[in-house]
A = this chain, B = another copy of it.
Amino acid sequence: MILIKIGGSVFSNKAGEAENFDTETVRRIAGEIAEFYPNEEFIVVHGGGSFGHYHASEHAIRDGLSGNWEADQGKRRGFSLTHQSMLRANARFIDIFLSQNLPAFSVSTSSIFLTERGEIIYADIEVIERLLELDFVPILFGDVAVDVAQGIDILSGDQIMAYLTKMLRPKKAVFLMDVDGIYDGKPGEGTLIQELARDEVPSLLDRLNCTASGTDVTGGICNKLRKAYEMANYSEVWFVNGKIPGRLAGAIRGDGFGTRLR
C-alpha cells in the first residue's frame, strides 16, 4: 500500500477566492496514480487549501469550545460548516478519481478520529482496511475533530498520514507539495535535500528554526518534518512537487525527483 497526501497548496490557492480548486492538477495526479492501480493499493489524504479554512479560522476552531454556551453555539456551527466545506473539496476529488477509473471512496475523517489538542488519540480504521481489501481507494481529508481535551479541534492531513503510516506500514508515504521537496533553508532559496537519513532530521529541524511551533494553521513544513521523522521508522517517506507532471509517478516507482527520507 502507498499513502499519498495531496497538500492543500497543490490543488487550491488559500489566498484566492473561497473554495477554488485546480481540477487540471488533480486530474493529472489521479492519472499518475492510475498508472499503478490495481497493482498497488493506495490511500489518499488531502488537505484543505481554500476549503474549510474560512469557517475554521472565523470560529477559532483550534481554540476549542469556550465554556460559554451561547458563544459555543457559534463554534458548533463553524465546526459543522468547516466539515461541510471539506466534504465539498472531497467530492471534487472523488469525481475526478472516478473519471480516471480509480474507485475512490470518501471516508469522513471526523467520523472515525478523536484528538487530544489536535493529536490523534483514538481512531477506528476498520472500514479503511476493508475498503483496501476490496480494491477501493479510500480518500480521507484534513477535517475538524472532536477533541477530548477542548471539545473541538482541527485534525490535519499530516497527522492522519503519520497515524496511518504507523498503523498500516505502507511501502511508502508520499507528500505532494507546491515546492520540490525539503530545503536546507527557505523553500526555493536553500539547497534541495534529495536524500535525508532519519537521524539527520533533528539537526535539520534546528537549522530550520522548527523548535517553536509553526505558524501555518496545520503546522507547515516544520510539523510535516516532525511527522516524517516519526513516520520514517515505519515507511520510506517522499516529499515531491505535486504541481509538476511525473514527480508523483517517480516517487511511486522510486527513482523520482524530490526529497527521499529513509
Contact = CB atoms under 8 A, between A and B. Distances in A.
Contacts of A130: 114, 146, 148
B80 A106 contact: yes
Contacts of A94: 80, 84
B111 A107 contact: yes
Interface stretch (A1-9, A71-79, A192-200, A209-217): A71-79
B103 A134 contact: no
Nearest to A135: B76
A114 B126 contact: yes
A71 to B, nearest CB: 12
A160 to B, nearest CB: 13
Interface string A22-40: 0000000000000000100
A101 interface: yes
A103 B87 contact: no
Given A77-B98, A146-B131, A112 B83 contact: no
Interface in A115-133: 122, 124, 126-127, 130-131
Contacts of A127: 110-114, 146
A43 interface: no
B101 A73 contact: yes
Contacts of A113: 127
Nearest to A139: B80
A105 interface: yes
A231 interface: no
Contact of A124 (B77, B124, B151, B152): B124
A157 to B, nearest CB: 16
Interface string A45-86: 000000000000000000001000100110011011101100
A103 B126 contact: no
Contacts of A110: 105, 107, 127
A108 interface: yes
A105 B87 contact: no
A12 B28 CA distance: 37
A136 interface: yes
A81 B98 contact: yes
Most buried by B among A111, A112, A114, A152: A111
A84 B103 contact: no
12 contacts: A76-B105, A76-B134, A79-B103, A80-B103, A80-B106, A80-B136, A84-B94, A107-B111, A108-B108, A111-B112, A130-B148, A131-B146
